[in-house]
Amino acid sequence: MLSTPRRSPTMVRRSSIWLLCVLAQVATAIYLPISQSCTPDKTAIRREWGEMAPAERKSYTDAVLCMTRKPPRLSTAEYPGVRSRFDDFVATHINNTLHVHYSGLFLPWHRRFTWLWERALREECGYTGYLPYWNWPLWTNDLKKSPLFDCSETSLSGDGEYNPDEQPISGGNMTIPRGSGGGCVRCGPFKDLQIHLGPFSRDLTSFTEIPSPKFEYNPRCFNRSLNNFVTSHYNNETIVSRLLASTDIVDFQTVMDHWPPRPDGVLGVHGGGHFSLGATMQDLFASPQDPAFMLHHCMIDRLWAMWQSRDEKNRRYALNGTTNILNPPWGQPVMLNTTMEFGVLDRPRKVREVMNPTGYGLCYTYT
């Protein structure tokens, strides 16, 4: 019988050192972002809509319209309201709404979602630019005069027709005045846009599963109602500065996302952007049907990225909340290894994969 050779103390020490090195490499691969390939010359730069040349803006809206003409990847038999590639994104948002809003997944999930949209525009519709953002404070007092909503061919279209039946919005201890439109959008690139999914109720407290109408086909015009009251109160420079001055992730989330509004009238910058554009954008589940959705969430991601970069040690991987809407006591806490779902848009992703805009295949920054 062969005997096992005895290992010298030196051999044992070398083996132990080798094992520790391997473990360190594994830990690095697991916990640190993969950013070596994201060099400055490869980094995409996302810009504010008004900074883009008119031709660049037109190129973006042309690509969005291209998405509305492309066939979906989701099954129409299973998702009757999904009639285009554009609708694939809307349905994916609906499918995940009860996990990625008012929860610990809000920021990381939407970072990946908007990046997937940008990638689809570039790879499937020939768009050569990157996702622009809507810098709310620049146009808080007059949305109609902004290059985003001035109804020109280089805008995201503008206000809807005046609808006398549009009502103010009540929530908490406050009422939000109605906007200036409320009807179908009849100008700009999206004047003929037809939306297919929703609308859904605003009563978030009663939802434990996706409510009716789920994914039913409900074709109708694209609706807007520009609301300067909302933007001037909830998306102004003072509140954006307050958001960036947040002391920790809990404080950051609090300024970002108040709904229902507090008695002192704080809605939150996230809700402010949604409620400033009317019924289509106010639909928590189906709001990506408004082409401004992606630019709004790009601005949210920009501010999160700015806030993270100001204190890398304490903020880059800061998380708070659960995987369920409104963070119920029974919800699972969000961790770096929590898995996020994206349906037909992407494979499942760990939260750690999106915590850095220059890691794990992401490679972008903002002006």
Residue 205 has a pLDDT of: 65
- Token representation of residue 189: 């690139």
Alpha carbons 4 and 168: distance in angstroms, whole number: 83
Residue 206 has a pLDDT of: 65
Residues 6+ apart with CB under 8 A from 314: 248
Alpha carbons 69 and 193: distance in angstroms, whole number: 11
Residues composing the chain: 367
Residue 203 has a pLDDT of: 76
Residues 6+ apart with CB under 8 A from 129: 52, 56, 59, 60
Other CB atoms within a 10 A radius of the CB of residue 233 amount to 17
- Token representation of residue 104: 């610990």
- Token representation of residue 238: 């003072």
Residue 333: phi, psi to the nearest 5? -60, 140
Residue 237 has a pLDDT of: 97
Say if strands 339-340 and 182-185 run parallel, antiparallel, or are unpaired. unpaired
Alpha carbons 256 and 200: distance in angstroms, whole number: 23
Residue 36 has a pLDDT of: 55
- Token representation of residue 110: 């939407």
Residue 118 has a pLDDT of: 98
Comparing C-alpha atoms, which of 295, 341, 293, 281 is closest to residue 112? Answer: 341
Alpha carbons 117 and 130: distance in angstroms, whole number: 10
pLDDT one digit per residue (tens) for the chain, 367 residues: 333 334 443 333 333 323 333 333 333 333 344 445 899 999 999 999 999 999 999 999 999 999 999 999 999 999 999 999 999 999 999 999 999 999 999 999 999 999 999 999 999 999 999 999 999 999 999 999 999 999 999 999 999 999 999 999 876 667 889 999 999 999 999 999 999 999 998 876 667 899 999 999 999 999 999 999 999 999 999 999 999 999 999 999 999 987 555 545 558 999 999 999 999 999 999 999 999 999 999 999 999 999 999 999 999 999 999 999 999 999 999 999 999 999 999 999 999 999 999 999 999 999 9
Residue 105 has a pLDDT of: 98
Residue 259 has a pLDDT of: 54
pTM of the predicted model as reported, rounded to 2 decimal places: 0.89
- The domains found in the chain, sorted by start residue, are 41-366 (1.10.1280.10)
Determine the 3-state secondary structure of 24 from DSSP. helix
